[in-house]
Amino acid sequence: MSELSDFKLQWINCTRCALANEGRSKVIFSDGPEDARVMIVGESPGAVEDQQGIPFSGPAGKLLNELLIEAGFKRSDFYITNSVHCKPLNNHKPSVVELRACKTMLDKEIECVRPNVILLLGAVASLQVCGISSSMSSTRGLWMEYKGVPAISTYHPAAVLHTRDLDPAKSKMYRDHIVQDLKTVKEKLISVTPQNGDTSF
Ligand code: SF4
């Protein structure tokens, strides 16, 4: 058993924050290989993820899969996780206290996966990992760093879905930016030496 799997076992019934009492059916850890060169960090599991036990397995996840392919990736290239690992009631934004409580888990994931790049989906992930509270429009596509690992933020695929009917132009802009930022990740991967020996990109 890997160090990360062992660590997750210790969190399987976690009650470190209030999200443990908001109707979650389980703690949702991650999807993808532990030696992935890119770690994707989203916001939180939703209802589908809570049922299936896999992050990004709902509508936003399906869109993410499409966008990854459009940018020349496949989902299995990525280790995918979230800023918090339990489903918030009514999909509310995790509080600072909840984010802080779950950061230990995320830090352990980063320490064990040792990605070459961290891709942050949405403002909550940017806050959780890099402490950035500025708007996505001003920070997306810019390189930051977390514990020596290059990190870049882009819009959460849910932003594309939420604006699709109300404002199709904005929805398309979000979509285009995500694909563009994924391509930036790809360029970065080509330029950095793999930490885990994987040169498949
Ligand atoms: S969100 Fe994280 S810290 Fe809170 S109960 Fe779930 S696993 Fe524990």
Residue 93 lies inside a defined structural domain of this protein: yes
Residue 48 lies inside a defined structural domain of this protein: yes
Residue 109 lies inside a defined structural domain of this protein: yes
Q: What is the pLDDT of residues 5-45, one digit of tens each?
A: 999 999 999 999 999 999 999 999 999 999 999 999 999 99
**Does residue 20's CB lie within 6 angstroms of at least one atom of ligand 1?**
yes
Residue found by looking up tokens 């890099």 in the block = 130
Q: How confident is the model at residue 192 (pLDDT cuts 50, 70, 90)?
A: confident
SS3 86: coil
**Does residue 99's CB lie within 6 angstroms of at least one atom of ligand 1?**
no
Q: Is the pLDDT of residue 198 over 60?
A: no
- For position 16, which CATH number holds? 3.40.470.10
Tell me the C-alpha to C-alpha distance, in Å, between residue 193 and each of 28, 36, 101, 152, 155.
31, 13, 32, 17, 26
Q: What's the structural domain count of the chain?
A: 1
Q: How far apart are the first and last CA of the chain?
A: 27
Residue 201 lies inside a defined structural domain of this protein: no
- Cross-strand pairs, 31: 80
Taking CA atoms only, the protein residue closest to ligand 1 atom 2 is: 102
Residue 27 lies inside a defined structural domain of this protein: yes
Q: Is the pLDDT of residue 2 over 70?
A: yes
Q: What is the mean pLDDT of the chain?
A: 95
Q: Is the pLDDT of residue 194 over 80?
A: no
Residue 182 lies inside a defined structural domain of this protein: yes
* Domain encompassing residue 99: 3-191
Residues 42/127, Cβ–Cβ less than 8 Å = no
